[in-house]
Amino acid sequence: MKRLLAMSAAAMMAATAMAAPEVGTPAKSDSLSLLSPDKRIELNFYLTDKGEPFYSLKFNGQSVIDDSRLGFEIRHEGGVSDIQPFMNGWETKETNTVLRPSQMREGFILDSSARTTVDYTWETVWGEESHIRDHHNELAVYLRQPMSAAFGTETDGDRTIVIRFRLFNDGLGFRYEFPKQNTLGYFIVRNELTEFTFHEDLTTFWIAGDYDSNEFIHETSPMSRIAALYPDFDRSGNACICPMPVPGVQTPVMFKRDGGGLYVNIHEAALVNFPAMQLEVQDAGEGRTKFVSHLVPDALGNRGHVQTPQTTPWRTIIVTDNAPAILESRLILNLNEPCAIEDTDWIRPQKFAGVWWQMFAPGRGTWSYTNEPNVQLGITDYTKTTPNGTHAANTENVKKYIDFAAANNIQGVLVEGWNQGWEDWFGQFKEFVFDFLTPYPDFDVVELREYAKSKGVQLVMHHETSGSTLNYERYLDRAYQFMKDNNYSVVKSGYVGPIIPRGAHHYDQSTVNHFLHCIRRAADYEIMIDAHEPVRPTGLHRTWPNYLAAESARGTEFESSDAIGNPPEHTTILPFTRIMGGPMDYTPGIFQQDMKYYDENAKGHIHTTLVKQLALYVVLYSPLQMVADLPENYERFPDAFTFIRNVPTDWDYTKVLEAEPGDYITTARKAKGEDKWYIGAITDENARTAVIDFSKLPLTKGKKYSATIYADGEDASWDENPQSYKISETLITSDSKLEIPLARSGGVAIELR
């Protein structure tokens, strides 16, 4: 069945790609429009008198995106046969005489256009849903630009670009395509000119533009205030930042009309061989704000090296009239290519525990084996060093985690700090930090492999690269083979600190290519990936379902050390921003909120109740969920822990029952292949009553489900009494409706059997 659906999808794609241009379509200055299948969203594309491409977007007849520019500034010699001049002159400064400035901004002629409609359903390997419908109308515009216009000088010939628009019932995706042609072989992107000019001043949930980090707390403000707030944006606590030099935001960025009725989300889909798109914020006049694509530059300041034929990622604008519909949108996945992995049986959603929080809980453990500074890969002999006595990844300790996982329906055990190099891995800008192969003397690879196997547990490998992608690629194949040889099927990778090759950024084109290279190579070894600090996801897990999860935002780790942590509203915003692009390894499940439990001087405090931690397993979607706290803390609350033991990580169906970004989310999900439902509701710093209307769910009619409800205690609150909870049982039918009070930064978690 899966293959059949995939085949028809591929056939559809092929049909789309080959659709013949319409002959005799409108000439220059004419405008073309496209309606969504339900006719509620309308796209308009046109060329100005100067041949500048523009588009606009209406929802229910009202403008959402006013006239907005499309195009690029590039540097280019002119043709496929022009490789030689490139070899002679890599310099890209304004003085460069070989790579001439050229533009794809004006002077275009509308050659032709093509329309298609696509409607099919595809099966996911894992996901929030087992089946996803892709229903859209497409308009491709074929634009011709005389070379004389492109260069502003007498130059023969024309070049062609295609802009492809896909309009779904919940929004628009569009991308640029550069066909192979003699007049456009290689070029360098200096700037993408794509604009998003908003008709209204919407409330914006944003993090500041940055080339190296997105582990920030969201700011909420009218879009017109972003530029003023930008200079004071708080980037503290991050190992490596590089602020965008002009005011702007990262995507996914969420917009909402105060009082509701209009919700917009901007991001990108299928980021492949291109820099990530961030957005500059600019005044568009008449009280309007526009966002302009700002591609993350490389060390030379270039924003993309292109060889035709090539397409850009899709620019996505999701538009709905209610917040749950944003969270239920599958537009970004639909714009990604079908699954590229033939046999996916080895790819398994799962929960994992790990030697991890122990290094964040004050005084409980370290990654490093010694306290000796200045260790060197391949030179330091650890058997001659003095152990610090706090190294957590030792054989005996790891065995305890394996026992804990085996006893509690947890498939994996992560071990951080197992390999040599942690003494000065960070802050030195070191190129050769880890080899991903050599364990510390107290970590017995073979003994643990056999022990984990005997308990039916998979070990989760840890590859911290400390940003040296260069060094990681040197070892990658050996490191993956080492995993295969030792019973590891998932790797958590990490990119803390500035990227080496030095001068590169986490989100530039080459580093984006590194992340995808690891995913593809891992697929060859049947390895699943959980990447920390990579570029934020853009739905590529449809194509590469071994890419289970990523961090790419502020996770639980920030809660351990300082009082700011992650404010109560953080997890009510993440699903509308970061998680729009793909699953997040947020690392939920912390039962011991106050870090003073470990050390009376500690300042860290989880900004949720215990029950909200349970609800996060449902609300924050991921096929890979960490059971993050210390086993001893779960032993203190065994009845609450039952929810974590039981909650699945793969779903047939998802319904968001109520949501407002920054305020609350209530999500219901049906377990894959079972008539069991799990509901999670969370709130921000305000207490509220969650309304769970079961008539909105496709429950089996007439069937009585027994429900276990994990609710905040009456006296619970995140700051004063986070561990107060109560568990109750009730019967639910499709006519039931529950109204459950949530504490300040509290939640509720329900299991329906």
Q: Are strands 412-415 and 350-355 parallel, antiparallel or unpaired?
A: parallel
Q: If binding is defined by CB under 6 A, does position 557 make contact with ligand NOJ?
A: yes
Q: Which residue, among 252, 265, 32, 225, has the nearest Cα to 142 in the 3D structure?
A: 32
**Least distance in angstroms from the C-beta of 110 to ligand NOJ:** 48
Residue in the block written with tokens 């009202």: 62
Segment 367-406, which members bind ligand NOJ (CB under 6 A)?
A: none
Compare residues 556 and 724 and give the one whose CB is closer to Ca ion.
Answer: 556
| Pairing between β-strand 664-671 and β-strand 186-192 as defined by DSSP bridges | unpaired
Question: Nearer to Ca ion by C-beta: 421 or 494?
Answer: 494
Question: Nearest distance from residue 482's CB to ligand NOJ, in Å?
Answer: 18
Select the binding partner of residue 530 from ligand NOJ, Ca ion, none (C-beta < 5 to 8 A, by kind): none
What is the spatial distance between Cα 513 and Cα 519, in angstroms, rounded to a whole number? Answer: 10
CB of 623 to ligand NOJ, least distance (A): 18
Compare residues 532 and 578 and give the one whose CB is closer to Ca ion. 532
Binds 684: which of ligand NOJ, Ca ion, none (CB < 5-8 Å by kind): none
CB atoms within 10 A of CB 1: 6
134 binds, among ligand NOJ, Ca ion, none (CB under 5 to 8 A by kind): none
Query: Residue 291 forms beta bridges with which residues?
Result: 196, 281
CA angle centred on 714, ends 711 and 720, rounded to 5°? 100
CA distance 5 to 548: 22
Contacted entry of Ca ion, ligand NOJ, none for residue 494, CB cut-off 5 to 8 Å set by kind: ligand NOJ
- Does 77 qualify as catalytic in the annotation? no
- Say which residues have a Cβ less than 8 Å from residue 446's Cβ, sequence separation at least 6: 486
Nearest to 421 by CA among 361, 465, 475, 474: 465
**Contact flag: residue 532 with ligand NOJ (CB under 6 A):** yes
The helix (run of H) or strand (run of E) holding residue 326 is helix 323-327
Pull the structure tokens for residue 46. Answer: 């046109």
Q: In terms of CB distance, is 464 or 559 closer to ligand NOJ?
A: 464
Peptide bond into 501 cis (omega under 30): yes
* Residue 494 in the binding site for ligand NOJ (CB under 6 A): yes
559 binds, among Ca ion, ligand NOJ, none (CB under 5 to 8 A by kind): none
Selection from ligand NOJ, Ca ion, none that 416 binds (CB < 5 to 8 A by kind) is ligand NOJ
CA distance 156 to 477: 48
Q: How far is the CB of 591 from ligand NOJ (least distance, A)?
A: 18
Give φ, ψ of 579 to 5 degrees: -75, -10
User: Shortest distance, CB of residue 455 to ligand NOJ, whole angstroms?
Assistant: 24
Phi, then psi, of 576 in degrees rounded to 5 = -85, -10
- Give how far Cα 8 sits from Cα of 123, 346, 749, Å: 11, 24, 39
Of 280 and 416, which CB lies nearer to ligand NOJ in the complex structure? Answer: 416
State the binding string over 332-361 for ligand NOJ (x if CB under 6 A, else -): ------------------------x-----
Distance, first Cα to last Cα, the chain: 28
Residue 276 vs 707, nearer CB to Ca ion: 276
Q: Verify binding: residue 551, ligand NOJ, rule CB under 6 A.
A: yes
Count residues contacting ligand NOJ (CB under 6 A)? Answer: 8
Nearer Cβ to ligand NOJ, position 223 or 393? Answer: 393
Among 496, 564, 687, 727, binds ligand NOJ (CB under 6 A): 496
CB of 753 to Ca ion, least distance (A): 36
Burial 12-45 (b: 16+ CB within 10 A, else e): beeebeeeeeeeebeeeeeebebebeeebbbbbb
DSSP conformational letter for 557: G
Q: Which two tokens stand for residue 329?
A: 């949108």
CA–CA distance, 363 with 138 (Å, rounded to integer): 58
**3 state SS for 381-412:** CHHHCCECCCECCCHHHHHHHHHHHHHCCCCE
Give the β-pairing of 651-660 and 288-295: unpaired
Instruction: Specify whether the backbone of 286 is left (phi greater than 0), alpha (psi in -120 to 50) or beta.
Output: left
How many Å apart are CA 511 and CA 535, to the nearest integer?
A: 8
Six-digit token string for 290: 């526009």
**CB-nearer residue toward Ca ion: 102 or 552:** 552
CA dist., res. 657 & res. 4, Å (int): 33
423 is a contact residue toward ligand NOJ (CB under 6 A) = no
Nearer to ligand NOJ, 424 or 663 (CB): 424
CB of 551 to Ca ion, least distance (A): 5
CA dist 720 and 712 (Å) reads 13
Indicate the residue among 56 and 552 with the shorter CB distance to Ca ion: 552
Residue 691: Cβ within 10 Å count: 13
For the CB of residue 198, give the shortest distance to ligand NOJ in the complex, in Å.
34
Tokens coding 77: 């010699």
Rounded to a whole number of angstroms, the minimum distance from the CB of residue 669 to Ca ion is 26
The dihedral region occupied by 227, where left means phi > 0, alpha psi between -120 and 50, and beta the remainder, is alpha
Comparison of 256 and 492: residue with beta carbon closer to ligand NOJ:
492
Least separation in angstroms between CB 533 and Ca ion: 5
Q: One symbol per residue from 437 to 466: x for binding ligand NOJ (CB under 6 A), - otherwise; what is it?
A: ---------------------------x--
Binding site residues, Ca ion, CB under 5 A: 532
- Read out DSSP for 670-704? EETTSS-EEEEEEE-SS-EEEEEEGGGS-PPTTPP
Report CA 152 to chain centroid distance, whole Å.
41
Beta carbon nearer to ligand NOJ, 322 or 561: 561
CB of 164 to ligand NOJ, least distance (A): 36
Shortest separation between residue 250's beta carbon and Ca ion, angstroms: 15
Considering 557, 559, 658, 751, which one is annotated as catalytic? 557
User: Rounded to whole angstroms, how far apart are CA atoms 92 and 298?
Assistant: 12
Q: If DSSP codes are grouped into helix, strand and coil, which group holds residue 333?
A: helix
Q: Identify what 464 binds: ligand NOJ, Ca ion, none; CB under 5 to 8 Å per kind.
A: ligand NOJ
- CA distance linking residue 342 with residue 363, whole number of Å: 46
Among 138, 192, 416, 684, binds ligand NOJ (CB under 6 A): 416
DSSP symbol at 529: E
Given Ca ion, ligand NOJ, none, residue 569, with its beta carbon under 5 to 8 Å by kind, binds: none
Nearer to ligand NOJ, 349 or 494 (CB): 494
Residues lying near ligand NOJ in the complex (CB under 6 A) = 356, 416, 464, 494, 496, 532, 551, 557
- Catalytic residue positions? 557
